[in-house]
Amino acid sequence: MNLVHHTGIMYKNGSISENIDSIVCEDSFTLHLNDKPLLTMVASDDHLRELGAGFIICSGIADRIDSVTVIDDAIYVEAPVTGEYLATLESSGGHSNQAEPPAVISTSRITPKKVLEVRGSIDSDAWLKTGALHASVLFYKGKLAIRCEDIGRHNSVDKVVGHAILNNLPLSECVVGCTGRQPSGMVQKAAYAGIPIIVSRAASTDQGIATAERTGITLICFTREGRFTVYTHPERIIGFEEFLKVNK
C-alpha cells in the first residue's frame, strides 16, 4: 500500500512542534466487466484482483468469477452476468446495488469469544500508523483467512470477499469483520456474497439493521473489549439460547 510522509505542525497541550506523519495515498481504478468499463473507483492500490472479484460478487452482478487481470490502473473481470446492477452512491462514496439481495442460507454459528477475537483482529499496523484506513477481516473455520485495508470501508469488504472467491472458500461458512459502520449498502455486500455473520467495530443504521433482518444476517455492532450488541438473528450466537427462550 502506498504511503507518503508529510510534515505538519502539531498543537498539543499548549505546545507547538513540527512532526512527520504517514499519509495514505488515494488512487483511482477503472473496473471493466467482460471488456466493458463498468465504473471508476477510488481505492488503495493493494489486493486489486481481490477488489475486482469481490465488487462483482458483492454487487450481485455475478455469482462466479472466471478471471481477474490488473493492468496499470485498470481491473479486468471476466464473469457471467446473472443479476441486474442498479448502481446507487453510498454515503461513504462507494457504489452498491439498489436491487434487493437474496436471503443468506447458512448453518454457521459463533461464540461470544470468537466475536471478540474477530474484532481484535481488525486493527492493523497501517490503520494505527495512519488513522486513515478502514480494515476488514475474513474468518474461515474459526481462523483469520485475510485482512485487507483500504481508504473505503466498502472496498475493504470487497477485497476480503474477493480473496474467498479467488481461493474457493465457501462464503456461507465465513464471518466478516469490519471497522466501518453498517448502512444498508454495506450489509447488502455480505448478503450478495452469502456471508451469514457481520462483526463491526462501529454502529449500524436503521436500514442496515432492516436489511440484515430481511436477508437472514446476524449483525453484530459496537464490538469493544468484552462487549458487543447483536441486532438481528441472535440465534447464531452460541450461549444465547437460554436468554432467547426466556425473552421470546
Domains plus CATH for the chain?
Answer: 27-97 (3.10.20.10), 112-246 (3.40.140.10)
Q: Determine the pLDDT at residue 135.
A: 93
Which pLDDT band holds residue 65 (cuts at 50, 70, 90)?
A: very high
Closest alpha carbon to 177 in 194, 195, 162? 195
pLDDT tens column, 177-207: 999 899 999 999 999 999 999 999 999 999 9
Q: Which helix (H) or strand (E) holds 219?
A: strand 218-224
Res 93 pLDDT > 90: no
Q: Which residues contact 87 (CB under 8 A, 6 or more apart)?
A: 39, 95, 96, 97, 98
Q: Which residues contact 162 (CB under 8 A, 6 or more apart)?
A: 47, 49, 50, 51, 52, 53, 54, 55, 57, 68
Q: Among 11-15, 50-54, 138-142, 145-149, which stretch is predicted with the lowest mean pLDDT? A: 11-15
Q: Among 80-89, 96-105, 107-116, which stretch is predicted with the lowest mean pLDDT? A: 80-89
- Over residues 98-124, the mean pLDDT reads 92
Unique residue bearing C-alpha cell 455492532: 221
Q: Determine the pLDDT at residue 83.
A: 78
Grid cell at residue 9: 505542525
Res 120 pLDDT > 80: yes
For 19-37, b/e burial (b = at least 16 CB within 10 A) is: eeeeebeebebebbbeeee
Which pLDDT band holds residue 88 (cuts at 50, 70, 90)?
A: low
Res 85 pLDDT > 90: no
Res 229 pLDDT > 90: yes
Q: Determine the pLDDT at residue 188.
A: 95
- Over residues 73-99, the mean pLDDT reads 74
Q: Determine the pLDDT at residue 21.
A: 87
Res 3 pLDDT > 90: no
Q: Determine the pLDDT at residue 97.
A: 61
What is the Cβ-side half-sphere exposure of residue 15, based on CA atoms within 13 angstroms? 3
| 176, 138 Cβ separation under 8 angstroms | yes
Which pLDDT band holds residue 95 (cuts at 50, 70, 90)?
A: low
| 159, 180 Cβ separation under 8 angstroms | no
CA 89 to chain centroid, in Å, comes to: 16
Q: Is the dihedral of CA 204, 206, 211, 213 positive or negative?
A: positive
SS3 state of residue 246: helix
Q: Determine the pLDDT at residue 205.
A: 96
Res 103 pLDDT > 60: yes
Q: Determine the pLDDT at residue 221.
A: 96
Which pLDDT band holds residue 123 (cuts at 50, 70, 90)?
A: confident
- Over residues 142-151, the mean pLDDT reads 96
